[in-house]
Amino acid sequence: MHEHRPYKYFDLVMAGFVTVLLCSSLIGVSKVSEFPEIHLGFLTIGPFSFGSAVLFFPFSYIFGDILTEVYGYARARRVVWAGFGALFFATFMSWGVLAMPAAPGWPHQAAYETVFGSTWRIVLASLTAFWAGEFVNSFVLAKMKIWTEGKLLWARTIGSTIAGEAVDSLIFYPVAFLGVWDTALVQKVLISNFFLKVGWEALMTPITYAAVSFLKRAEHEDYYDRDTNFSPFRLDDE
């Protein structure tokens, strides 16, 4: 059971998590970009397609890793639910604003619908994929911390991201776009986004190490989830 005591930076980390989640889920989620073909001697990279938000969404997993590593699964679980609630409200607000009749002469309704209009499939895919992926990420990291006795942080953050992002990608892209995009494009974007997200997490490892080290010293906390109830449907600290 968690000791009930105040933390200096927990609220800031939670705010960062929710901010990244909302921005990456609302900005660029439907846009597909393409990485150009680059020749590096005997090595050729690209071209490949990827979702435009892919470079930013992995930050939510980094925040999730930091929360679980420092404060434990139970507190990370509460933050995931906070993010889920924020994403749900943002989706509802987008629907409500778009549903309001535009004033006569206001010329931007079509632009708003293009940017903020999401089909029920994208909404369902976003909420479900986020919820499942974040909980898998947190669960795997918490379990790996016990198995490794707190060592090999890089293996825990990357390993948990591989599991979480795999679940996220396998849910989001088929549910949101299969039948809307060509099947081949869905597959290409799913695979390229998965590897980009995991690669981005790996590149961010030094920053994750620095943040975790700072927070453990500042908060005097390094939680091990040995007796934690891992049900995602709880909001207490057990």
84 within 8 A of 127, measured Cβ to Cβ? yes
| Token reading at 101 | 């009749």
What is the C-alpha separation between 145 and 159, in angstroms, rounded? 11
Question: From its phi and psi, is residue 76 left (phi > 0), alpha (psi between -120 and 50) or beta?
Answer: alpha
What is the C-alpha separation between 210 and 187, in angstroms, rounded? 35
Helix segments in 148-204, DSSP class H: 153-177, 183-203
Q: Which residues are within 8 A (CB) of 130 and not within 5 positions of it... i.e. 6 or more apart?
A: 21, 25, 60, 83, 84, 87, 168
Q: In the chain, pLDDT over 90 holds for what percent of residues?
A: 55
Residue 230 falls inside a structural domain: no
pLDDT tens readout for residues 151-206: 999 999 999 999 999 999 999 989 988 988 899 988 988 988 898 889 888 999 99
What is the C-alpha separation between 150 and 210, in angstroms, rounded? 16
Residue 5 falls inside a structural domain: no
Q: Which residues are within 8 A (CB) of 46 and not within 5 positions of it... i.e. 6 or more apart?
A: 34, 35, 36, 37, 38
Residue 90 falls inside a structural domain: yes
What is the C-alpha separation between 137 and 143, in angstroms, rounded? 10
Count the domains in the chain: 1
pLDDT of residue 42: 75
| Token reading at 231 | 């049900």
pLDDT of residue 114: 76
Residue 78 falls inside a structural domain: yes
pLDDT tens readout for residues 29-60: 667 777 778 877 777 776 766 667 777 877 88
**Does residue 213 surpass a pLDDT of 90?**
yes
**Does residue 78 surpass a pLDDT of 90?**
yes
Q: How far apart are the first and last CA of the chain?
A: 5
Q: Stretch 70-88: mean pLDDT, rounded?
A: 95
Q: Stretch 223-232: mean pLDDT, rounded?
A: 96
What is the C-alpha separation between 188 and 49, in angstroms, rounded? 7
SS3 149: coil
pLDDT of residue 28: 65
**Angle subtended at Cα 188 by Cα 118 and Cα 45, rounded to the nearest 5 degrees:** 125
**Does residue 96 surpass a pLDDT of 70?**
yes
Residue 228 falls inside a structural domain: no
Question: Which amino acid is residue 233, in one-letter code?
Answer: F
Q: Which residues are within 8 A (CB) of 186 and not within 5 positions of it... i.e. 6 or more apart?
A: 173, 174, 177, 178
pLDDT tens readout for residues 113-165: 877 777 678 888 889 999 999 999 999 999 999 999 999 999 999 999 999 99
50 phi/psi in degrees, rounded to 5: -155, 155
Residue 108 falls inside a structural domain: no
Q: Which residue has the higher pLDDT, 87 or 41?
A: 87
Q: Which domain holds residue 121?
A: 10-28+53-98+113-219
